[in-house]
C-alpha cells in the first residue's frame, strides 16, 4: 500500500518533483488494475503519482499527418471521439468488447498498454493500427513502435520514471475489423482476439495489418499472413490465409482456453473477416 499519493496537473510539475520522491514510486492513471493490487496487499511501492488529470495526457488531437491520443484518455472516450472514429476506428470498435461500461469510464489507454497483457483489447487495436508510442523521461521524448518495448505479460521495457505520454496513429484511410472471443457475451477476457486494418483497391487488399491477442506472451502481429494477403482478393485468399495464420502462432493452453481452440478461433476470425470485406 502506498504511504501517499502525489497528484499532478502538468508534466512540468511532475518532472520538477519526481526525483525528490522515494525511489519505489509508481504512476497511477485509471487505477483499474493498480487499485486492485492495493486491496490484495500486492503493492509494495511507497508513493503513487496520480497522472490521471495531467492535461497533456488527456488530449486527443491531430496534426497534418498523425493523430495523438494521450495516455490518460479513458477507454469510453475512444468510442465516440470523431478523430478516433475517422483515423483509428479499430480503437472505437474495441470499446464495446472492453470490460464493462463503468470500467471503461475509469481505465485509460495508457494503462491498458502499460499493463502489457497479452489479451489487452486496446493494444490489439493499436498494433493493427501500427501505432507508435510516445515516451517521456524528464521532458525528453522518444517515439517507438507500439510492440517494440512489450516483452511479455506485465513486462514492458521502460526506463525508471519513463512516462507513456501517448500514442501516435498516422492518418491513413484504412478500414478495420475487430473480433474477440470471450467466455460470455460481454465483460470477459479474450480467449483470442483479432484486429485487421486494410484498404481495398479494385477488389484487392492493400496495406494489410493483422494483430492477435491471447495467443502469445504479448499481443503480436501476423506478419506472414499480412504479406500473403497483400494484393490478393479477400475471398480467394481465404483458405490459404487461414492456414498460414495458424502456422504463425503457438498459443498456450491455460485457464481460459486451449491451444487448439485458440488456433481455431484465430483461423475462423480471419475467415469471417475476409468474407465480410
Partner 1 sequence: MKKFKLECEVNGKKVKVEIDSSLRLLDFIRDVLGLKGTKEGCGEGECGACMVLMDGRAVNSCLVMAVQAHQKRIVTIEGIHKHKYGAQLQESFVKEAAVQCGFCTPGFIIAAQEILSKNPKATLDEIKEGLAGNLCRCTGYENIFRAIDKARRKK
| Cβ proximity of 57 and 28 under 8 Å | no
Residue with cell 512489450: 150
CA 96, CA 251: separation in Å to the nearest integer? 25
CA 51, CA 49: separation in Å to the nearest integer? 6
Cβ contacts of 39 within 8 Å, gap of 6 or more: none
- Residue 17 in contact with partner 1, rule: CB under 8 A: no
Between 129 and 148, how does the x/- string for binding to partner 1 read (CB under 8 A)? --------------------
- Residue 21 in contact with partner 1, rule: CB under 8 A: no
Length of the chain: 277
- Residue 65 in contact with partner 1, rule: CB under 8 A: no
Cβ contacts of 21 within 8 Å, gap of 6 or more: 6, 47, 49
Binds partner 1 by CB under 8 A, chosen from 11, 14, 52, 248: 52
- Residue 44 in contact with partner 1, rule: CB under 8 A: no
How are beta strands 220-221 and 4-7 bridged, if at all?
Answer: unpaired
**Nearest-approach distance from CB 52 to partner 1, in angstroms:** 6
- Residue 156 in contact with partner 1, rule: CB under 8 A: no
CA 74, CA 108: separation in Å to the nearest integer? 4
**Nearest-approach distance from CB 172 to partner 1, in angstroms:** 30
Residues paired with 68 in a beta bridge:
61, 168
- Residue 85 in contact with partner 1, rule: CB under 8 A: no
Q: Using CB under 8 A, which of the segments 31-39, 131-139, 249-257, 261-269 binds partner 1?
A: 31-39
Q: Using CB under 8 A, which of the segments 26-34, 172-180, 240-248, 264-272 binds partner 1?
A: 26-34
Binds partner 1 by CB under 8 A, chosen from 21, 26, 59, 103: 103
- Residue 5 in contact with partner 1, rule: CB under 8 A: yes
Q: Is the CB of 24 or the CB of 247 nearer to partner 1?
A: 24
Q: Is the CB of 100 or the CB of 239 nearer to partner 1?
A: 100
**Nearest-approach distance from CB 222 to partner 1, in angstroms:** 29
Residue with cell 477507454: 75
Q: What is the DSSP letter of 237?
A: T
Cβ contacts of 42 within 8 Å, gap of 6 or more: none
| Cβ proximity of 27 and 51 under 8 Å | yes
Cell, residue 96: 464495446
- Residue 28 in contact with partner 1, rule: CB under 8 A: yes
Residues that bind partner 1 (CB under 8 A): 1-5, 7, 28, 30-32, 35-36, 38-39, 48, 50, 52-53, 76, 96, 99-103, 105-106, 186-187
Amino acid at each position: 500500500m502506498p504511504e501517499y499519493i502525489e497528484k499532478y496537473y502538468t508534466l512540468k510539475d511532475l518532472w520538477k518533483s519526481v526525483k525528490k520522491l522515494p525511489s519505489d514510486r509508481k504512476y497511477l492513471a485509471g487505477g483499474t488494475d493498480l487499485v486492485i493490487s492495493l486491496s490484495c496487499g500486492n503493492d509494495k511501492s511507497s508513493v503513487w503519482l496520480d497522472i490521471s488529470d495531467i492535461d497533456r495526457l488527456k488530449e486527443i488531437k491531430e496534426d497534418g499527418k498523425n493523430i495523438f491520443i494521450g495516455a490518460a484518455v479513458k477507454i469510453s472516450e475512444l468510442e465516440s471521439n470523431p478523430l478516433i472514429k475517422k483515423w483509428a476506428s479499430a480503437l472505437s470498435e474495441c470499446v464495446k468488447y472492453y470490460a464493462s461500461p463503468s470500467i471503461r469510464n475509469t481505465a485509460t489507454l495508457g494503462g491498458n498498454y502499460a499493463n502489457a497483457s497479452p489479451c489487452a483489447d486496446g493494444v490489439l487495436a493499436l498494433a493493427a493500427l501500427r501505432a507508435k508510442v510516445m515516451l517521456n523521461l524528464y521532458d525528453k521524448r522518444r517515439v517507438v513502435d507500439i510492440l517494440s518495448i512489450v516483452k511479455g505479460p506485465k513486462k514492458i521495457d521502460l526506463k525508471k520514471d519513463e512516462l507513456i505520454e501517448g500514442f501516435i496513429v498516422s492518418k491513413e484511410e484504412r478500414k478495420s475489423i475487430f473480433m474477440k472471443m470471450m467466455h460470455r457475451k460481454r465483460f470477459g477476457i479474450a480467449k483470442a482476439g483479432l484486429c485487421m486494418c486494410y484498404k481495398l483497391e479494385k477488389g484487392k487488399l492493400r496495406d494489410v495489418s493483422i494483430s492477435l491477442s491471447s495467443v502469445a506472451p504479448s499481443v503480436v502481429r501476423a506478419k506472414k499472413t499480412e504479406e500473403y494477403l497483400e494484393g490478393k482478393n479477400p475471398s480467394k485468399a481465404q483458405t490459404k490465409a487461414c492456414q498460414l495464420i495458424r502456422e504463425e502462432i503457438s498459443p498456450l493452453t491455460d485457464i481460459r482456453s486451449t491451444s487448439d481452440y485458440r488456433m481455431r478461433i484465430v483461423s475462423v476470425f480471419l475467415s469471417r473477416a475476409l468474407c465480410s470485406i
